[in-house]
Amino acid sequence: MPKRTLHHVMTATIAAAGALALSAGGAVAQTAAPLDYVALGDSYGAGSGVLPIDLSSPLCLRSTVNYPHVLASATGARLTDVTCGAAETKHLAQSQYPGVAPQSDALNADTDLVTVTIGGNDNSTFVSALTACASAGVLSGGKGSPCKDKKGTHFDDQIEANTYPALVEALRNVHAKAPGARVAALGYPWIMPATADPSCFLKLPVASGDVPYLRGIQAHLNAVIARAAAETGTTYVDFTQVSEGHDACKASGTRWIEPLVFGTNIVPVHPNALGERRMAEHAMDVLGLG
């Protein structure tokens, strides 16, 4: 009798262990569904200038190795990438080109994650500021601060008056269209160093006094994005620290942003492939993905 009882106990134990193993196996087999991830934004999100190009929407000059693709590949997320070069904040809700739907149309109640990189093209801030300061820099031979002297607070005033309220409205619309999603607004990695680098003038012909001026404009834009994110319950991904020392004046292999001339991208003053990877990695760190 004792032997039989022991046999029964052992049999029951083995059966229970097997059931647990099957249950564990089932849990492994039934892994969580991949994140439904939608990427919105402009050329910094699209990776414009980084080859290869996504031929499904050639007007948008979107790369297949931009930060949304890197993030999706690393996390197994199911990506819908509607980022588009030259997009302004308004193009999250309006069509940018004929046949190109408003970006927020990609959102729905099933969306789990949204990343947004937008604001730099509003008021043509990036293009206008860089063009004005590069032109002034060439004419001044790199001396002084001719761009700041001429433009003053013009760009900052536009960012505050126009870009900030547009961002708040756009982010609220994103949350409304994807109410169950975690929404992240990414800032822009540094384009300029903190102070002038004389060896960089041929690549970025900005006068020495206008280098901190341009950087200040970018800092203001990032601060506005952060403020709009905080106001709308959006996670802000800050590149202030991690992109320091990786600006367009640095050597290839170190810089995340390509210079105006003598760069490697087909679109200058935009992130290269390294920059897009680092943007993805930092976004994943901030969002707790990986």
Instruction: Please tell me whether the peptide bond between 268 and the residue prior to it is cis, using omega within 30 degrees of 0.
Output: no
Report the alpha-carbon distance of residue 178 to residue 193 in Å, rounded: 37
- What amino acid positions are annotated as catalytic residues? 43, 270
- What is the greatest pairwise CA distance in the chain? 104
Radius of gyration of the chain from its Cα atoms, rounded to whole angstroms: 24
User: How far from chain centre, in Å, is Cα 229?
Assistant: 14
Structure tokens of 51?
Answer: 């080859």
Count of beta carbons in the 10 Å neighbourhood of residue 229: 23
Residues 203/142, Cβ–Cβ less than 8 Å: no
Residues 212/195, Cβ–Cβ less than 8 Å: yes
Report the alpha-carbon distance of residue 204 to residue 215 in Å, rounded: 13
Give the burial string for 5-36 (b: 16+ CB within 10 Å, else e): eeeeeeeeeeeeeeeeeeeeeeeeeeeeeebb
